[in-house]
Copies of this chain bind each other. A is one copy, B any other.
Amino acid sequence: MKLLQEAIEKRGIILNDNILKVDSFMNHQIDPQLMFEIGKEFADHYRNQEITKIVTIESSGIAPAVFTGLAMNLPVVFLKKSEPSTMIDPVYVESFSFTKNRKYTLCMESSMLEQGDKILFIDDFLANGQAFESFESLMGKCGATIAGIGIVIEKSFQKGRKTIEDKGYDIYSLARIQSMENGKINWID
């Protein structure tokens, strides 16, 4: 997605060969017009997959997910990283954040999904695929089917992409980074 690649090149910060910060338009400050276009792009790709619900993970997944939900006229569920006191009958899995270097519990109220739901997973980044695997495990507990995976920025040099492809899922990443060596991004088109 050209518009997104331009935003990353212009407004992203490459901290080192592995870490890209996009706090200026997605992960801390959000550019709603760009997110609106991102939502339309995911919707175009997944329009004929009979998706019944979109699922993402708080907090940075919410913006791309809600604009996808707007474009597809579908509800969006965000998984929580801690269990609020008002949650009834939660389902949860343990996960690990490489960015924050700590374990966390990924959690959802069981009534949010039904047997037979066909889920489109939307997330801001794909790197090691740890968040995806936790999501996948949670969906398994609910009897929901994963119909697609929409990623805003994929670090293709880390193992997440391959893990997901090997499992046969339909994955669609809007910007695929081959490498970020010497402060320059090489794209996979």
Contacts and interface: CB of A to CB of B under 8 A. Distances in A.
A67 B80 CA distance: 21
A100 B84 contact: yes
A36 to B, nearest CB: 6
Contact of A59 (B31, B58, B85): B58
Interface string A14-44: 0100010101010011111101100000000
Complex copy number for this chain: 2
B84 A59 contact: no
Interface centre among A30, A33, A63, A70 (most CB of B within 10 A): A30
A61 to B, nearest CB: 10
Contacts of A115: none
Interface residues of A, number: 39
17 contacts: A15-B86, A21-B86, A25-B75, A28-B77, A29-B76, A29-B77, A30-B66, A30-B76, A30-B78, A32-B76, A33-B73, A35-B70, A59-B62, A62-B63, A66-B67, A84-B99, A86-B99
Given A66-B67, A84-B99, 5 more contacts: A23-B86, A25-B75, A32-B69, A58-B58, A63-B66
A32 B75 CA distance: 7
Contacts of A80: 28, 59
Contacts of A73: 32-33
B28 A78 contact: yes
Interface centre among A21, A74, A84, A101 (most CB of B within 10 A): A84
A172 to B, nearest CB: 19
A109 interface: yes
A108 to B, nearest CB: 8
